[in-house]
């Protein structure tokens, strides 16, 4: 088929319009059977009142579901803004060619069997990508359940949730890597009065990613917040840009992400990669780009009113944790929320003196329990109003939770109605409805108040809100003085640097390293030794990174003779056992002492890019999977927060009178290592210092061992 000169690819508002407010859609492969997958989109468009033109493309039918059908896209009488390709994978390429020829600017592809299906599928996806790009066709999918826009009545989807009688309008835009979750959110949200502006199933994101789609709609006057359902992160730079723009626009991004158990599967190796795990890196990416991550599915659509119109709490990374006030009309229901909040690290505070005084002036006793029981004063609308106002204005906490018991079911006027006026209060107000209370749920949704159906989601929503961070700067300036490290990396002979070369890089970054000298194999006995005792001797070879396992480490060597003997023995034994390994000699260092050992690592994560990891050293830290992960490069305040996050470093953080470690020096070392992210000319795939010895306050840190692996060129 001869293609006419390609149309220019749409961008910006025109693309957004073609995607979600198309004047005409083509359904390529439309089925005459409205119950079949290929027949549903047409039925749903009609059911939900799509006002534009609909062109079914089907070579075997003159009419599809009562609408004139066309054998080929080129037969269609008018311009088409958006084509939904309903054909199986083998026929998709031809359909995209047809879209290009017919100057259809956007095509959404239903079929799976592309990057989701092995090497052949990946190759096929690459072909459709190239064809679409050449033809000026922007793609959603493949493997996309389609696009639903409630305001424009564009139900361009095969998702069976669209069997709904009508779609409830709302101000949330959903971008989902899972197609079926689009229907799930729609049906679950509507059932309790939560409507959506639009929902897009992004599929494999062969062309348009969540980040790009988000940028298209970030200024949409009818969207207050974005909900993301993530299986992975594709196109991290676009996603980061979207997140920055959304933050500037005051529109929260809230994500539910799969992959909790991957980290577990990758346990049991000592390298940074395993300790960090891609899920931890993903969580760091979301957090540091100002994207709220929820843990429970329902929190995703229950919490948005808590964040809409608000900014992340202005709190230093190392400040004490968040606090909330909890009032209740039911002891048991309130206790469930308090219990769960505390177990998630959110402190529930008893009423402050100010709040108590303010309430007392209105003849209300708040009591001194962290759970403020309103039944003490009788569950009355005026009491609820006065108590919530008092807690919002005078409690000194970050948010307020109101737990409503049985009255929520049959008497919303008592304790639910009075909450409505707090939708835009100075502090976020969340509500947990303990009984089944559909009318109260809908009332609160309508008012823009976050209403939670379970104590667990309520606590999860508050935790997510109160740990929400502003996005890190879009770019962090490269500090001066990295040239020496860059030069060392440029000179590296192979992808893996030996311990001495790695230490030189760390030192160039500004990390104190243990003094060391090398005994060459040929001058073992004659070379002068400049080391203090006791000393340690380690085999030096780029081919043997796991020195202990090959018997390449000798500790506690008391004097010169002991060092030379150990070195000779080591070289001979390892030379026999590993004849192919290059043995540069034996590294001799003084045995250093510290209060604690830390592991700091740097890695290029395949999804989120450069990350830095901190863990306590030793076997137990590995067993407990106790590490902190951040995007790299990072700053000193963030590094300090990482230190606070690692439980295994508690002994050097002022634990039971034990001496404090030099945490500033540790933070400086983390920051310095993270600067590898600036060195993009010869990028580092992985670097690790293990152990980094942490000495007492003011005494610094010292890197004792480490490795650097360059990325494949």
CB of 12 to a copy of itself, least distance (A): 30
d(CA 613, CA 712): 21
Where residue 66 falls (left for φ over 0; alpha for ψ -120 to 50; beta otherwise) is: left
Q: Quick one: 106 or 646, whose CB is closer to a copy of itself?
A: 646
Minimum distance of a copy of itself from residue 159's CB (angstroms) = 6
Can you tell me which of 335, 425, 524, 685 binds a copy of itself, judged by CB under 8 A? 335
In angstroms, the CA 479 to CA 186 distance is 47
Range 285-324, binding a copy of itself (CB under 8 A): 296-298
Of the listed pieces 20-28, 87-95, 563-571, 615-623, which binds a copy of itself according to CB under 8 A? 615-623
477 half-sphere exposure, CB direction, 13 A CA radius: 3
With CB under 8 A as the contact rule, the residue among 330, 356, 589, 671 that binds a copy of itself is 330
CB of 343 to a copy of itself, least distance (A): 4
Q: In what order do the strands lie in the sheet with 106-109?
A: 53-57, 24-28, 82-85, 106-109, 138-140
Question: In the complex, what is the shortest distance from the CB of residue 651 to a copy of itself, in angstroms, rounded to a whole number?
Answer: 5
Minimum distance from CB of 258 to a copy of itself (Å)? Answer: 5
37: Cα separation from own chain's centroid? 33
Site for a copy of itself in 165-224 (CB under 8 A): 176-181, 183-184, 187-188, 190-191
708: helix, coil or strand?
strand
C-alpha atoms less than 13 angstroms from C-alpha of 417 in its C-beta half-sphere: 12
Q: Are 381 and 414 in contact (CB under 8 A)?
A: yes
Nearby residues of 568 by Cβ (< 8 Å), 6 or more positions away: 524
Q: Which residue among 168, 258, 476, 520 contacts a copy of itself (CB under 8 A)?
A: 258
120: CB partners within 8 A, 6+ apart: none
- Which residue number, 270 or 352, has a Cβ lying nearer to a copy of itself? 270
Regarding 412 and contact with a copy of itself (CB under 8 A), the answer is no
By DSSP bridging, strand 535-540 and strand 517-519 are unpaired
Is 273 a binding residue for a copy of itself by CB under 8 A? The answer is no
Instruction: Let me know: does 512 contact 679? Beta carbons within 8 Å.
Output: no
CA angle 227, 231, 233 (to 5 degrees): 85
Site for a copy of itself in 425-454 (CB under 8 A): 434-438, 454
Residues of this chain, 654-673, that bind a copy of itself according to CB under 8 A: 655-656, 658
Cβ-Cβ contacts under 8 Å for 353 (sequence gap 6 or more): none
Q: Minimal distance in Å, beta carbon 480 to a copy of itself? A: 39
> Which DSSP symbol is given to 533?
S
Residue 260 within binding range of a copy of itself, rule CB under 8 A: yes
Q: Least distance to a copy of itself from the beta carbon of 436, Å?
A: 4
CB-based contact 440:432 (threshold 8 Å): no
Beta partners for residue 227, in sequence order:
174, 254
Contact pick of 12, 250, 332, 606 for a copy of itself (by CB under 8 A): 332
Residues 22-61 as b/e (b if ≥16 CB within 10 A, e otherwise) read: bebbbbbbbbbebeeebbbbbbbbbbbebebbbbbbbeeb
Return the range that interacts with a copy of itself (CB under 8 A); candidates 77-85, 330-338, 468-476, 487-495.
Answer: 330-338
Task: Give the shortest CB-345-to-a copy of itself separation in angstroms.
Answer: 9
- Pick the closer one to a copy of itself by CB: 438 or 572: 438
Q: Which stretch binds a copy of itself (CB under 8 A): 208-216, 311-319, 555-563, 613-621?
A: 613-621
Check residue 620 for interaction with a copy of itself (CB under 8 A): yes
Residues 455-484 that bind a copy of itself (CB under 8 A): 455-456
558 touches a copy of itself (CB under 8 A): no
109 within 8 A of 85, measured Cβ to Cβ: yes
Smallest gap, in angstroms, from Cβ of residue 107 to a copy of itself? 22
> In the numeric block, which tokens belong to residue 258?
């799969």
By CB under 8 A, tell whether 648 contacts a copy of itself.
yes
Using the contact rule CB under 8 A, the part of the chain among 153-161, 215-223, 476-484, 629-637 near a copy of itself is 153-161
Question: Which residues are paired to 138 by β-bridges?
Answer: 106
| Nearest CB to a copy of itself, comparing residues 436 and 680 | 436
List strand residue ranges (DSSP E) for 558-595, in order.
585-590
How many residues comprise the chain? 713
Task: Confirm or reject binding of residue 407 to a copy of itself (CB under 8 A).
Answer: yes
Interface residues with a copy of itself (CB under 8 A) are: 159-161, 163, 176-181, 183-184, 187-188, 190-191, 229, 231, 258-261, 264-265, 268, 296-298, 330-333, 335-336, 338-343, 405-407, 409-411, 434-438, 454-456, 616, 619-620, 623-624, 626, 647-648, 650-651, 655-656, 658
């Amino acid at each position: 088929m001869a293609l006419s000169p390609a149309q220019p690819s749409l961008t910006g508002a025109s693309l957004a319009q073609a995607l979600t407010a198309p004047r005409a859609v083509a359904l390529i492969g439309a089925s005459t059977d409205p119950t079949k997958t290929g027949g549903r989109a047409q039925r749903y468009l009609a059911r939900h009142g799509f006002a534009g033109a609909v062109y079914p493309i089907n070579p075997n039918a003159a009419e599809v579901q009562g609408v004139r059908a066309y054998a080929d896209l080129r037969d269609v009488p008018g311009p088409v803004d958006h084509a939904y390709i309903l054909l199986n994978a083998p026929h998709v390429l031809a359909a995209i060619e047809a879209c290009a020829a017919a100057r259809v600017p956007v095509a959404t592809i239903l079929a799976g069997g592309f990057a989701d299906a092995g090497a052949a599928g990946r190759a096929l996806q690459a072909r459709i990508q190239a064809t679409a790009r050449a033809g000026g066709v922007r793609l959603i999918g493949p493997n996309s359940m389609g696009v639903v826009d409630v305001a424009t009545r564009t139900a361009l989807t095969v998702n069976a949730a669209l069997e709904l009688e009508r779609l409830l309008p709302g101000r949330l835009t959903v971008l989902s890597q899972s197609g079926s979750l689009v229907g799930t959110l729609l049906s679950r949200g509507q059932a309790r009065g939560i409507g959506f502006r639009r929902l897009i199933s992004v599929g494999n994101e062969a062309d348009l990613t969540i980040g790009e789609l988000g940028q298209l709609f970030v200024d949409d006057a009818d969207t207050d917040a974005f909900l993301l359902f993530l299986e992975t992160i594709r196109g991290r730079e676009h996603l980061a840009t979207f997140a920055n723009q959304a933050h500037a626009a005051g529109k929260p991004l809230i994500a539910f992400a799969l992959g909790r158990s991957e980290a577990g599967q990758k346990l049991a190796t000592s390298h940074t990669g395993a300790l960090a795990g891609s899920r931890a890196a993903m969580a760091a990416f979301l957090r540091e780009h100002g994207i709220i991550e929820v843990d429970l599915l329902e929190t995703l659509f229950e919490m948005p009113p808590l964040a809409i119109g608000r900014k992340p709490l202005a709190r230093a990374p190392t400040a004490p944790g968040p606090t909330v006030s909890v009032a209740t009309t039911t002891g048991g229901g309130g206790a469930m929320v308090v219990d769960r909040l505390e177990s998630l690290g959110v402190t529930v505070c008893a009423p402050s003196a100010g709040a108590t005084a303010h309430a007392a002036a209105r003849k209300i006793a708040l009591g001194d329990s962290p759970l403020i029981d309103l039944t003490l004063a009788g569950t009355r609308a005026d009491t609820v109003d006065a108590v919530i106002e008092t807690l919002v204005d005078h409690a000194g906490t970050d948010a307020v939770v109101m737990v409503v018991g049985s009255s929520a079911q049959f008497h919303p006027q008592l304790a639910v109605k009075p909450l409505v006026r707090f939708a835009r209060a100075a502090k976020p107000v969340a509500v947990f409805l303990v009984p089944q209370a559909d009318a109260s749920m809908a009332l609160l949704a309508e008012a823009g108040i976050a209403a939670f159906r379970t104590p667990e989601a309520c606590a999860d929503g508050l935790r997510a809100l109160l740990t929400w961070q502003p996005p890190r700067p879009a770019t962090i300036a490269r500090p001066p003085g990295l040239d020496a490290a860059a030069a060392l990396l440029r000179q590296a002979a192979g992808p893996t640097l030996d311990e001495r070369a790695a230490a030189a890089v760390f030192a160039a970054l500004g990390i104190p390293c243990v003094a060391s000298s090398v005994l060459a194999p040929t001058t073992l006995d004659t070379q002068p030794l400049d080391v203090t005792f006791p000393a340690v001797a380690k085999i030096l070879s780029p081919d043997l990174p796991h020195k202990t396992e090959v018997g390449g480490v000798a500790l506690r060597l008391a004097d010169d003779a002991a060092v030379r003997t150990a070195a000779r023995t080591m070289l001979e034994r390892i030379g026999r056992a590993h004849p192919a390994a290059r043995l540069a000699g034996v590294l001799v260092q003084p045995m250093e002492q510290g209060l604690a050992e830390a592991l700091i690592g740097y890695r290029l994560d395949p999804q989120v890019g450069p990350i830095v990891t901190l863990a306590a050293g030793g076997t137990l830290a590995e067993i407990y999977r106790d590490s902190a992960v951040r995007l790299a490069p990072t700053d000193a305040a963030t590094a300090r927060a990482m230190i606070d996050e690692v439980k295994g470093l508690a002994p050097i953080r002022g634990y039971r009178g034990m001496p404090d470690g030099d945490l500033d020096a540790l933070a400086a070392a983390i920051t310095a290592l993270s600067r590898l992210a600036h060195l993009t000319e010869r990028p580092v795939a992985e670097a690790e210092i293990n152990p980094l010895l942490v000495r007492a306050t003011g005494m610094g840190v010292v890197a004792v061992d480490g490795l650097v692996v360059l990325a494949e060129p």
